[in-house]
């Protein structure tokens, strides 16, 4: 696993960045990557740009020097693995450049923002917070929440208390750690929750507060993308009464190197699916067992020592701890791409 070292930008095209005016130069700088989502959506295939979102909020440019990069402008289901690599690489590039921003904001569709936030939490590192935000209500709807979420994100991005906390999601005045957060409702303003760990902090009217201390030191990225090759195929299968071997076998035959199970309860499956998963490990596929309940842990299953004695070519089977299936998939994908040894997987999945 690559833990340290300079990250090199991976083939990123020259970005178009709106430059600050001279009056703005003394303020902390926040760099906004606009990617689309409901926060930008006006209906009828019309979308606001990131600059329009920023300029639409009175006083925002008095709070910070804000530079905006139109990264994409799409629903979040259209965000790709390549976007993730480019985004992480671009942040790493800005971190190491002159006039490095105090913090970063990603405006993003809410459906998959927990995935993007978690990916960035594993691949960016550094002291400067990365705030992923969006909106539950379209930009032109009454009571649209995008402007307050974006304004609060700027406040959190420049707050000294945010430093060293990595990637976070800000929605509905609440700040969540990327590992903990999930979208748990389709429409409510309060759609985002952290079922096990709870809210990390609040963007209250008077101040930004955190309920847990920041790490003692800023952390390097857990995975250095500059040293990691292409991501392998990793799929999620869903357990339910009557689930058979078809989905597992199909993914393995399609070339999956990892399979995550959204298991029942503490990670159970049906006998048929269970047999298919064991067959998959015999073909070298790593299986990570998560769960479909929405909260709680799936324990480690295997002691690291027992993973040492895996027969050659056999994939490990480990528990996802408290990672939901979509996040366990990201961690497994990065671990496989970085050639993390099987015996190191339990510690990796446990690490917070």
Whose tokens are 């935000």? That residue is: 133
Name the active-site residue from 21, 22, 35, 38: 38
Q: Is residue 173 part of the contact set for ligand GLU (CB under 6 A)? A: no
| Residue 74: CB minimum distance to ligand GLU, A | 7
Say whether residue 109 binds ligand GLU (CB under 6 A): yes
Residue nearer to ligand GLU on the CB measure, 83 or 111: 111
The interface with ligand GLU within residues 63-92 (CB under 6 A) comprises 75-76
Contact yes or no for 33/116 (Cβ under 8 A): no
Report in angstroms how near the CB of residue 328 gets to ligand GLU at its nearest: 20
With respect to ligand GLU, which residue has the nearer C-beta, 19 or 187?
187
Least spacing, CB of residue 244 vs ligand GLU, in Å: 31
CA distance 115 to 322: 15
Nearest to ligand GLU of 132, 200 (CB atom): 132
Q: Closer to ligand GLU by CB, 138 or 219: give it.
A: 138
Give whole-number Cα distances, 241 to 46, 68, 247, 263, 346, in Å.
43, 48, 14, 11, 28
Q: Is 290 in the site for ligand GLU (CB under 6 A)?
A: no
How would you classify the pairing of strands 258-263 and 234-238?
parallel
- Least Å distance between CB 134 and ligand GLU? 7
Pick the closer one to ligand GLU by CB: 82 or 347: 82
Q: How far is the CB of 150 from ligand GLU (least distance, A)?
A: 15
Q: Are 324 and 263 in contact (CB under 8 A)?
A: no
CB 5 within 8 A of CB 227: yes
Q: Is residue 116 a contact point for ligand GLU (CB under 6 A)? A: no
Each residue 12-51 as x (binds ligand GLU by CB under 6 A) or -, in order, gives ------------------------xxx--x----------
Residues 307-336 that bind ligand GLU (CB under 6 A): none
- Report in angstroms how near the CB of residue 140 gets to ligand GLU at its nearest: 11
User: Rounded CA gap, 20 and 191, in Å?
Assistant: 34
Residue 180 CA to residue 195 CA, distance in Å, equals 7
In this complex, which beta carbon is closest to ligand GLU, that of residue 109 or of residue 125?
A: 109
CA distance 264 to 287: 15
Helix (H) or strand (E) segment spanning residue 71: strand 65-74
- Looking at 67, 70, 107, 110, which residue binds ligand GLU (CB under 6 A)? 110
In order of 246, 285, 335, the CA distances from 251 in angstroms are 9, 10, 18
* Residue recorded with tokens 């926060």: 39
Q: How many CB atoms lie within 10 A of CB 200?
A: 22
**Where does this chain touch ligand GLU (CB under 6 A) — which range of 108-116, 148-156, 206-214, 333-341?**
108-116
The secondary structure element, H or E, covering residue 148 is helix 146-158
**Sign of torsion over alpha carbons 338, 341, 344, 349:** positive
Asked about 38 being catalytic, the answer comes back as yes
Token duo for residue 251? 């993914």
Number of residues this chain uses to bind ligand GLU (CB under 6 A) = 9
Which residues of the shown chain bind ligand GLU in the complex (CB under 6 A)? 36-38, 41, 75-76, 109-111
Kindly list the catalytic residues: 38
């Amino acid at each position: 696993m690559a833990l340290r070292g300079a990250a090199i930008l991976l083939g990123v095209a020259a970005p178009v960045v709106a430059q600050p005016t001279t009056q703005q130069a003394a303020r902390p700088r926040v760099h906004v990557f606009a990617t689309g989502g409901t926060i930008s959506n006006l209906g009828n295939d019309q979308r606001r740009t990131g600059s329009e979102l920023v300029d639409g909020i009175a006083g925002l440019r008095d709070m910070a020097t804000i530079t905006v990069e139109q990264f994409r402008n799409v629903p979040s289901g259209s965000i790709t693995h390549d976007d993730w690599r480019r985004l992480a690489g671009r942040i790493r590039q800005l971190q190491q450049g002159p006039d490095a921003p105090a913090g970063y904001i990603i405006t993003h569709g809410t459906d998959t923002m927990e995935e993007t936030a978690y990916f960035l939490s594993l691949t960016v590192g550094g002291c400067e917070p990365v705030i992923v935000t969006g909106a539950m209500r379209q930009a032109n709807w009454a009571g649209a929440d995008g402007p307050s979420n974006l304004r609060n994100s700027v406040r959190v991005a420049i707050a000294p208390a945010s430093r060293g906390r990595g990637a976070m999601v800000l929605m509905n005045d609440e700040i969540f750690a990327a590992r903990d957060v999930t979208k748990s409702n389709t429409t409510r303003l309060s759609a985002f929750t952290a079922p096990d760990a709870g809210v990390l902090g609040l963007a209250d009217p008077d101040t930004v507060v955190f309920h847990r201390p920041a790490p003692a030191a800023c952390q390097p990225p857990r995975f250095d993308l500059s040293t990691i090759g292409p991501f392998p195929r990793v799929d999620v299968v869903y357990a339910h009464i009557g689930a058979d071997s078809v989905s597992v076998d199909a993914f393995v035959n399609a070339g999956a190197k990892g399979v995550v199970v959204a298991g029942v309860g503490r990670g159970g499956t049906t006998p048929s699916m269970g047999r298919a998963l064991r067959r998959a490990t015999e073909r070298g596929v790593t299986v990570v067992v998560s769960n479909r309940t929405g909260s709680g842990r799936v324990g480690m299953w295997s002691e690291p020592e027992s993973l040492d004695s895996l027969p050659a070519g056999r994939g490990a089977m480990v528990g996802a701890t408290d990672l939901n299936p979509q996040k366990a998939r990201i961690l497994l994908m990065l671990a496989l791409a970085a050639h993390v040894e099987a015996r190191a997987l339990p510690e990796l999945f446990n690490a917070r």
